[in-house]
Structure 1
C-alpha cells in the first residue's frame, strides 16, 4: 500500500480524521446518558416572593418529578430582571441552565436600558409559555377606597399624594399602573422597588398606598387581609376571581392589561433538549395538582403548542408593549 509522505495533504487529513474519531468516542458516553443526568439550574428573572417566582416554582416542582432530577431555582432580582437574563445569556447551552423570563424583562427592558448584556431575540431559545397572567389592583386596608371609582376620586382630591409601588421601572406593575393613571386622568407618585416581593411588602407596610400587580404576587396578602383587592386588569371577569370587576367596567373604558411568563434556554441549546423541556412542561401544566395550585393564585396555566409557536407569540408581543412604553413615557437609562 502506498503511504502518504509526512507533511503531505493526505497525512494531514489522516491526523484530522483520528482527532475527530477520538473526540466522537469521548463524547459517546455523554450522548448516551439520559437527559437530564444531573440537577438543572432554573434562573428566575425576579426576586423570591415575586409573581414570577411563584409561577416558576409551581411548574418546576412538577417538571422535577417527571425528570427525576432536582431543578434548582436561582432567583436573580434587580434591574427589572435584566441581571438574570445576562447570566442566562452567558450560560453554557448544554441543557443544564434554563431561564424563566417575563414580558417586562424580555421585551420592555430593551426600551428602558441603553446598554444590556443580552439581546432577547438573539441570545435565547423560546421553549414554552407558562401563564398569561391578569393583574389585580389592590390598596392598603387603611386607604378609604373600596372601588376603582373611589380610588380615582381620592387621587383627584389629593393629586401627587398617593404612592404606587412597582417591581421596578418598566416592570408589568409599572406599565399597568401608568396605563391606569393615564386613562383615569390622575396623578400619583411611582415608587419602583427591586422586585415583586419588595413591591408587595411596601403596600403591606403602608409605605405605598396602591398597586397593580400580577395576581400570583399578592393573592396571599389579599386573602390574609393585608391588602384590599378592587379590580382585575383583564378585559372580562376571571372565572377564578368572579367577585372582582374589571377596571374597564369600573369606569375606565379601554383598560386591559396582562403579562406573561415563559421558559427560555441559552441560544444554541440542542433541539432535542428544547423539545424534551417543552413536552415535559406541557405535561406538567396539565397535571391536576398544578392546575389547582395556579387556581389558588388566580391563574390558569397556558402552555404553548410548540417552541416555535411560543417564539412567534414572543416576537408578536413586542409591538403591544412598545405602545405601552410610549404611553408611560419611559426613557432608556
Structure 2
C-alpha cells in the first residue's frame, strides 16, 4: 500500500538501526518459553459495541482458534485510552496480556496530556497492525464547490470564511483537516463537536461547510445524496465508494490519513513470543472472517508485521505528534 511505503521510507534510519541490533546467526539463543499456557487478555481502550471493539473481538476470535486458548477483550475506556494503556503496561510481560494501541495512545496522547501514566515508546513492543480507518472529505451538496480543486480555489478567494467540523479536538477528523489546510495552503476555522454524529447533523444542515469523517458514518449520507464526498484520504479508492477520488487524484498531494489500530505487547515480552504473536496475527488479519468484519465496518485490514510495523509506528508517531502540536490544543 502506498501510505505504508511512504511511512516506511521516512522510517528507513530506524529500520537500519533495528537491523544492526539483530543478533548474528550462530550465537546461542535462549530457549523459547512455553506459550500460551492459559487464556489471553486483550486490553482495549474503547467501549464495547463500536467499530474498534468489533475488530478487536474478531482478532480475539481468530487468535483463540489458532492458539487453542481463550482470548478475551477487556474494554477500559477513559482519558483518551490512557487508562487501558497504563493497565496493559503494568501487566506481566509474558504474552498473556496484550494491548490494542492507536495513533492516539501511542502518539498524540503525549501532546494532549500533561503527564501520562505510561510511556508509549518504552512500555510497549509493537506486534502487528490491525486496521486503518480513512477519512472522507464531505460537504453539503448545495455548496458552490463540487471538487477539491474548486473548494481550494473558493477558500483562497474567501480567506477565513469556510469552517470545518470535527468529532472533537485532537481526533483524526480534526488533525486530518489540519493536514489538508497545510497541504492546500488555505485557512479554515475549526468547529469542534462531541462526536461525529452531531457534527454530521450540522454539516447536513448547512451550519458548517466541510468535514473529514469516516466512511462508516458519512458513507450512507453520501449514497443518499444528503452529503457530497470530494475525496478520500488514502492512496487508493475505497471499495464502498469507488467513484470518490483519492486526495492526490483530486489535486492535493500529501494528505494521507489512516486512523490505525495495532496489537502491542508489554515491554520485555520475550522476543520469541512476540514473533509467534506477529505470525499468528498475520494469519488472523488475512482471514476471510476478519476481512468481512473490516469491510462491514468500512475500514482497511493492515497486514503489517514485526519490524515493518515498528517502523510504521515510529513514522506515524512523528506525523501525528506534529499535527497535534500544530492544532493549538492545550494539554489537559
TM-score for both structures, normalised by structure 1:
0.71
- What's the offset of the Cα at 1:51? 4.7
Matches of 1:219 and 1:51, distance apart in 2:
15
Matched residue, 1:200: 196
Matches of 1:205 and 1:47, distance apart in 2:
23
Whether the aligned pair in 2 keeps the contact of 1:129 and 1:302 (CA below 8 Å) is yes
Matches of 2:217 and 2:64, distance apart in 1:
23
Matches of 1:202 and 1:215, distance apart in 2:
16
Matched residue, 1:250: 250
Matches of 1:49 and 1:203, distance apart in 2:
21
Matches of 1:116 and 1:149, distance apart in 2:
41
Matched residue, 2:24: none
Superimposed CA distance per residue, residues 208-233 of structure 1 (whole angstroms, 9 cap, x where no aligned partner): 85532344565567667786543201
Matches of 1:143 and 1:165, distance apart in 2:
18
- Is 68-77 or 208-217 further displaced after alignment? 208-217
- Alignment CA distance shift 1:311-1:235 (3 Å): closer
Consecutive unaligned residues in structure 2, runs of 5 or more: 1-32
- What's the offset of the Cα at 1:319? 2.7
In the alignment of these two chains, the number of paired residues is 294
Write the mapping of 1:39-188 to structure 2, written as runs, cut at 5 A. 40-48=40-48, 50-139=50-139, 147-148=147-148, 153=154, 162=163, 164-166=165-167, 168-182=168-182, 183=184, 185-188=186-189
Query: Helix, strand or coil for the counterpart of 2:121?
Result: coil
Matched residue, 2:315: 316
Matched residue, 2:293: 293
The answer to whether structure 1 residue 35 and structure 2 residue 42 are counterparts is: no
Superimposed CA distance per residue, residues 179-237 of structure 1 (whole angstroms, 9 cap, x where no aligned partner): 224436243333153xxxxx222235448855323445655676677865432012443
Whether the aligned pair in 2 keeps the contact of 1:49 and 1:217 (CA below 8 Å) is no
Superimposed CA distance per residue, residues 71-102 of structure 1 (whole angstroms, 9 cap, x where no aligned partner): 33233334332232122222333333211111
Q: Greater relative contact order (Cα 8 A, min sep 6): structure 1 or 2? A: 2
- What's the offset of the Cα at 1:116? 0.7
Whether the aligned pair in 2 keeps the contact of 1:128 and 1:264 (CA below 8 Å) is yes
- Alignment CA distance shift 1:243-1:329 (3 Å): same
- Alignment CA distance shift 1:241-1:69 (3 Å): farther
Matches of 2:145 and 2:59, distance apart in 1:
36
Matches of 2:225 and 2:67, distance apart in 1:
38
- Alignment CA distance shift 1:305-1:187 (3 Å): closer
CA RMSD of aligned residues (A): 3.6
Matches of 1:108 and 1:114, distance apart in 2:
11
- What's the offset of the Cα at 1:243? 1.2
- What's the offset of the Cα at 1:107? 1.0
- Alignment CA distance shift 1:255-1:317 (3 Å): closer
- Is 91-100 or 211-220 further displaced after alignment? 211-220
Whether the aligned pair in 2 keeps the contact of 1:161 and 1:189 (CA below 8 Å) is no
- Alignment CA distance shift 1:62-1:229 (3 Å): farther
Consecutive unaligned residues in structure 1, runs of 5 or more: 1-30, 194-198
TM-score for both structures, normalised by structure 2:
0.72
Matches of 1:143 and 1:76, distance apart in 2:
41
- Alignment CA distance shift 1:254-1:277 (3 Å): closer
Matched residue, 1:23: none
Matches of 2:201 and 2:73, distance apart in 1:
27
Superimposed CA distance per residue, residues 246-274 of structure 1 (whole angstroms, 9 cap, x where no aligned partner): 23443545433233221001223333432
